[in-house]
Structure 1
Amino acid sequence: MEKFRTIRAERVDGVLRITLNRPERRNALSPELQDELLDAVREAQYDTSIRVILIRGAGPSFCAGYDLGPDPSAPPRADYKMPETIEEDVALCMTFGEKWGRLWHSRIPVIAQVHGYCVAGGTDLALHCDMIIAADDARLGFPPVRSQGGPPTHMWVYHAGPQWTKRLLLTGDTISGKKAAEVGLVLESVPAEELDDHALALATRVSHIGHDLLAHNKRIVNLAVELMGRGTMQTLAAIHDTLGHNAPEAFEFNERLRTDGLRAAVAERDGKFA
């Protein structure tokens, strides 16, 4: 597992614990990190001695979203370019649903261990896991709905139901891990100092079940969610995110981003919500 640059992976008996390891960027999801995480998940699901995957973040936050800035230390990529047409934008947004769908469809269970901020793209990652354990004081939400579009994937309504999904996606507000557990967005929350032990204890408990039985019982639940339209919803989410990219507010935000930088643009956007 030492081949990875942006994650750490360690075995704890039947658990593979993966740590997002870009703490200086609040574990923002660079293309490299996304690829390495999904590579580790793909390898683990075919190792019958690994029964469950636990994903957490290094540093002060689980994940602050998709990385909007260049990483000069990352290897160059020839497979990505900024979209120039609406169709190219839709195609790009659909790749997020396809990527995180690999996490959702992993043969073995995946648990997210959330602390600090889990916002924007970080929620795309977490909500595609089978269970989420959060610190009481974690913050979860999707602030970019205020200026940039919507979630390019959409698992919110399957976890929190329509009213709380609207409450969060119509305001961009974040809620605590404790509140997220109350509304069903996460499975449960615990005090921050207990999070590591609690999440690992749950993962270890799951790992006592046989590999194939876990795969069978995860699959049937996932198929029930597919009957609710999950797969189609990911395509619709990509299309509606693209529509959001073309809203007047998105053009205004992007202009401020170009002229004054990300921090100033976000501060102006979020100031009225303080």
Structure 2
Amino acid sequence: MPDYKAFRVELADKIAHVQINRPEKINAMNADFWREIIEVFREIEDNDAVRVVVLSGAGKHFSSGIDLMMLASVGAKLGPDAGRNARSLRRTILELQASFNAVDNCSKPVIAAIQGYCLGGAIDLVSACDMRYSTVDAQFSIKEIDIGMAADVGTLQRLPRIIGDGMMRELAYTGRTVDGEEAQRLGLVNRTYADQDALLEGVFEIARQIAAKSPIAVQGTKEMIRYMRDHRVDDGLEYIATWNASMLQSADLRVAMTAHMSKQKPEFAD
């Protein structure tokens, strides 16, 4: 993997560990972050050796959200004409949305490991992941309301499908902080861990379980789940029938069935 300014990326055992690497800035999302995350996930998408992604933050906190200096710089570019300002702001917002769409659109499962702060834009980011796990003392907050704006890079669109509409509205309107235990009760995280070491150990164990499965089956499953967010049941059934008309011809099916019958551990090609 290439070197990045805002991330550290390591690949081992078919798992890509993508770590936000600005601990001295509470992993705030600066311009490098927004640009590089697209590059990171493009590399992951193109690398068949990667079967699952773990996304974490270096240091004591996952991320404090968008870098306020970057937000201020966007405002400083505005001029006297409202129409041109609107066009410029819209273009910037769509560019930021594309950064987290790259995570959502990744064909490999993405697992977020969250400790400490997960605020504002960090909620947008983890909402684009497949699953979320945290420490018990993690702190989640949709902070945009407290800086006078509506969240605009995915939280309000993705989070209702994770925790439900009513609770999403409460958190979005109040900006209140949710700890790891409440986050688990809400379904925002699947499980909590006592500390960061236990969190990473637990998340990597889940990642290893996924990485041991057929990549054809795992990625097909993710595609079907994503498709169903925006389609009817009959659309989804039609799509999976067409999809599996091809994918059931994969050697992975034979490998899995043979291993199951012989009580052996299957080994799948990338």
TMscore range, shorter length: 0.7 to 0.9
Q: Which residue of 2 aligns with 1:5?
A: 5
Q: Which has the higher contact order (CA 8 A, sep 6+)?
A: 1
2:37–2:99 CA contact under 8 A, matched in 1: no
Alignment of 1:231-250 (within 5 A): none
**Residue 223 (structure 1) aligned with residue 218 (structure 2):** no
Match of 1:48 in 2: 48
Query: 1:102 is matched by which residue type in structure 2?
Result: A
Q: Structure 1 CA distance, aligned partners of 2:36 and 2:163?
A: 29
Query: 1:176-213 CA deviation, whole Å, 9 max, x = no partner?
Result: 11111111122222212410100111111111112222
What residue number does 1:82 align with?
Answer: 77
* 1:41–1:53 contact (8 Å) kept in structure 2: no
Q: Deviations over 1:14-70 (max 9, x none)?
A: 100011100011111112122222212211122111100111000110010011126
Unmatched runs of 5 consecutive residues or more in structure 1:
71-78, 229-274
Match of 2:102 in 1: 102
Seen in structure 2, the aligned counterparts of structure 1 residues 91 and 36 have a Cα distance that, compared at 3 Å, is: closer
Query: What is the CA–CA distance in structure 2 between the aligned matches of 1:83 and 1:184, rounded to whole Å?
Result: 40
- 2:148 aligned with 1:162: no
Contact kept? 1:111, 1:129, Cα under 8 Å: yes
Deviation of 1:94 (Å): 2.5
What code does the residue aligned with 2:230 have?
A: E
SS of structure 2 residue aligned to 1:221:
helix
Name 1:26's counterpart in structure 2.
Answer: 26
- % identical equivalent positions: 23
- Secondary structure of the corresponding residue to residue 17 of structure 2: strand
Question: Is the radius of gyration larger for structure 1 or structure 2?
Answer: 2
Normalised to the residue count of structure 1, the TM-score between the two structures is 0.75
- Alpha-carbon deviations, 1:189-239, whole Å to 9, x = none? 2212410100111111111112222211100000111338xxxxxxxxxxx
Task: State the partner residue of 2:174.
Answer: 171
Cα pair 2:34 2:96 within 8 Å, conserved? no
Q: Provide structure 2 residue ranges, at least 5 long, that are not aligned to the other structure.
A: 80-84, 233-270
Tell me by how many angstroms 1:2 deviates. 4.7
The equivalent residue for 1:111 is: 111
Q: Report the 3-state secondary structure (helix = DSSP H, G, I; strand = E; otherwise coil) of the residue aligned with 2:62.
A: coil
CA apart distance, 1:80? 11
**Superposition CA RMSD, Å:** 2.2
Q: Distance in 1 between matches of 2:32 and 2:75?
A: 12
Amino acid at match of 2:204: L
2:36 and 2:75 map into 1 onto residues whose CA distance is 16
The equivalent residue for 2:130 is 130
Q: Which residue of 1 aligns with 2:251?
A: none
Provide the C-alpha distance between the structure 1 equivalents of 2:214 and 2:76, rounded to a whole number of angstroms: 43
1:208 maps to 212
1:228-265 Cα offsets, whole Å, 9 max, x none, are 8xxxxxxxxxxxxxxxxxxxxxxxxxxxxxxxxxxxxx
TM-score between the two structures when normalised by the length of structure 2: 0.76
Report which stretch shifted further, 177-186 or 29-38: 29-38
Segments of 4+ moved more than 3 angstroms: 79-84
Kindly tell me: are residues 24 and 90 of structure 1, through their superposed partners in 2, closer, same or farther at Cα, counting changes over 3 Å? same
Q: How many residues align?
A: 222
The amino acid that maps onto 2:180 is G
Change in Cα spacing, 1:117 to 1:49, as seen in structure 2 (3 Å) is same
Contact kept in structure 1, 2:65 and 2:118, CA below 8 Å: yes
